[in-house]
Structure 1
Amino acid sequence: MNKLLLGRYIPGDSLIHHLDPRAKLFASFYFIVIIFFCNNFSSFGLMFLFTFMSILLSKISLSFFLKGVRPLIWLILFTVSLQVLFTNGGTVYFKFGFLTISEFGLQNGAYIFLRIVLIIFMSTLLTLTTPPLSLADAIEYLLRPLKKLKFPAHETSMMISIALRFVPTLMDETEKIMNAQRARGVDFNEGNLMQKMKAVVPLLIPLFVSSFDRAEDLALAMEARGYRGGEGRTKYRLLHWQWQDTMTILCLALLTGALLFVRQ
């Protein structure tokens, strides 16, 4: 549980860390969108090259990064297996009832696997290199045009940043509860899949109770400090767009052109 990196921030002095959070947020969402334009392994190779270059510029160890993504592997494999078993087309390699393993199924399964891994890498890189408060400021800035439609941009950005901030906290809390259960003789690794799932159920009640207590404490702390929403609030942290941010957008434009070139 404590290996999950989504939501954690690792302070650093890299080029990625110093980028404007608006540029990083826009780049991450844009990257996730153009992933779905990949239709062959050459285009996926191009996207992985860009991702690994970004990780290298962030000065975050790739091995540490992969260990952090490992807890999500089972979810990825489950999604891929559904795609493989229920997609027909091309040469049929195996068929049993309504389950079919075909050429198109394997190809689409591989594409889904690569897309999910790329999305996890890029979204995790965003949270690793961006403080939650800066990320909230960037979300609020990008949602600002929706204020004319009475959309609560400030409140939405605050909720997203709080959710990201408390993902690692909840994982740490879950690890503590599991260790307490192990000290009382519970083995989460024995038995079949159903038995393992039943062993996890007793973790939910104390985790929910702890989450609600933490949410109430946070609400009281915000009220005690005079928080009344975004209207009329000034900001201590000011966002500054620099030439590195413009170069990031230009790199995304070049990546898009290269992607369209290698697509079939």
Structure 2
Amino acid sequence: MLQNIIIGQYVGVASLLHRLDPRSKLVSVAILVIIIFLVDNWVAGGLMIAFALILIFLSNVPLSFIYRGMKPIFLLVLFTVFFHLLLTREGEVLWTAGPFSIYEHGVRQAAFMALRLLTLIVFTSLITLTTKPIDITDGLEYLLSPLKKVRLPAHELALMMSIALRFIPTFMQETEKIMKAQMARGVDFTSGPWRQRLMAFVPLLVPLFISAFKRAEDLALAMEARGYRGGEGRTKYRLLAWSWRDSLAVALCLGLSAAVLALRLL
């Protein structure tokens, strides 16, 4: 299941989202991430879900691929929903079993939190699914370039974030391999008391951290061997080009944000 995580993966197909400038996608997703947490009614929630489905359709990424990638997230969503139902004690009581009660406000909060988490994952995942890592780096560097005035290394920050995104699928695959190797040696990750299952992850974490540090060292040596010295004086083979499609994409996200704010104030 871990290898199906879609965050950090790139799907090279022809689509409208693939042709957009990475800067417009980053700005648009930043707007959507902010507005997601302002959704507090079902009409606004329906707009966000519809917009997410439209973006998936425009990306030409198979819906089955995204669904498989979302499976690991469902556990987190169920965990969050459970705690909202259990701990929120406002509104009318809908169901009671011994010391536990489910309240109307708890159901509402749990539903909106699930909506926010799922749409948040879809919007952020579409960036990496439709944008090459090098383009993400260039877009982030451009957007972070004003930080150079306060002596913050925009190029290095953008490079670190893009490398982190790129290596998420790699580490998930490495985790899957180590888990299978440990299970072949008799380690049980799925049954027994929770303390025993927690301790079973210790032999998983140690080789995973060792592998991560080795990959980081190999990457650093490879970059130094190729003469990497930071962003100063570097030129670019591919230049970013902002088009009317990018302006339209940002305008649509701003329009959706205005609609959600209007529905929130009604």
TM-score range, shorter chain: over 0.9
Deviation digits for residues 153-185 of structure 1 (CA, Å, limit 9, x no counterpart): 111101101100111110111111122223323
Q: Calculate the TM-score normalised by the size of structure 2.
A: 0.93
Q: Calculate the TM-score normalised by the size of structure 1.
A: 0.94
- What fraction of aligned residue pairs are identical, expressed as a percent? 50
- How many angstroms does 1:96 deviate by? 6.3
Alignment check: 8 A CA contact 1:86 1:100 kept? no
Q: Which whole-Å CA distance do the structure 2 matches of 1:59 and 1:39 have between them?
A: 30
- How many angstroms does 1:42 deviate by? 1.1
Q: Tell me how many residue pairs correspond in the alignment.
A: 263
Aligned-residue Cα RMSD (Å) equals 1.7
Deviation digits for residues 183-216 of structure 1 (CA, Å, limit 9, x no counterpart): 3233433335443333222111111111111110
Mapping of residues 230-241 of structure 1, within 5 Å: 230-241=231-242
Deviation digits for residues 59-88 of structure 1 (CA, Å, limit 9, x no counterpart): 111122011011122222222222222222
Partner of 1:121: 122
Gaps of 5+ in 2: none
Alignment check: 8 A CA contact 2:32 2:257 kept? no
Gaps of 5+ in 1: none
Q: Which whole-Å CA distance do the structure 1 matches of 2:204 and 2:122 have between them?
A: 28
Q: Which whole-Å CA distance do the structure 1 matches of 2:235 and 2:15 have between them?
A: 29
Deviation digits for residues 81-136 of structure 1 (CA, Å, limit 9, x no counterpart): 22222222211344866x65321111111111110111001111111111111101
Q: Which whole-Å CA distance do the structure 1 matches of 2:47 and 2:198 have between them?
A: 39
Question: Which amino acid is 1:106 matched to?
Answer: V
Alignment check: 8 A CA contact 2:81 2:111 kept? yes
Mapping of residues 99-138 of structure 1, within 5 Å: 100-138=101-139
Question: Which amino acid is 2:6 matched to?
Answer: L
Alignment check: 8 A CA contact 1:87 1:100 kept? no
- How many angstroms does 1:256 deviate by? 2.3
1:163 corresponds to 2:164: yes
Mapping of residues 221-236 of structure 1, within 5 Å: 221-236=222-237
Alignment check: 8 A CA contact 1:9 1:129 kept? yes
Question: Which amino acid is 1:197 matched to?
Answer: L
Name which of structure 1's ranges 246-255 and 216-225 shifts more when overlaid on structure 2: 246-255
SS in 1 for 2:260: helix
Alignment check: 8 A CA contact 2:31 2:257 kept? no
Partner of 1:259: 260
Partner of 1:59: 60
Partner of 1:177: 178
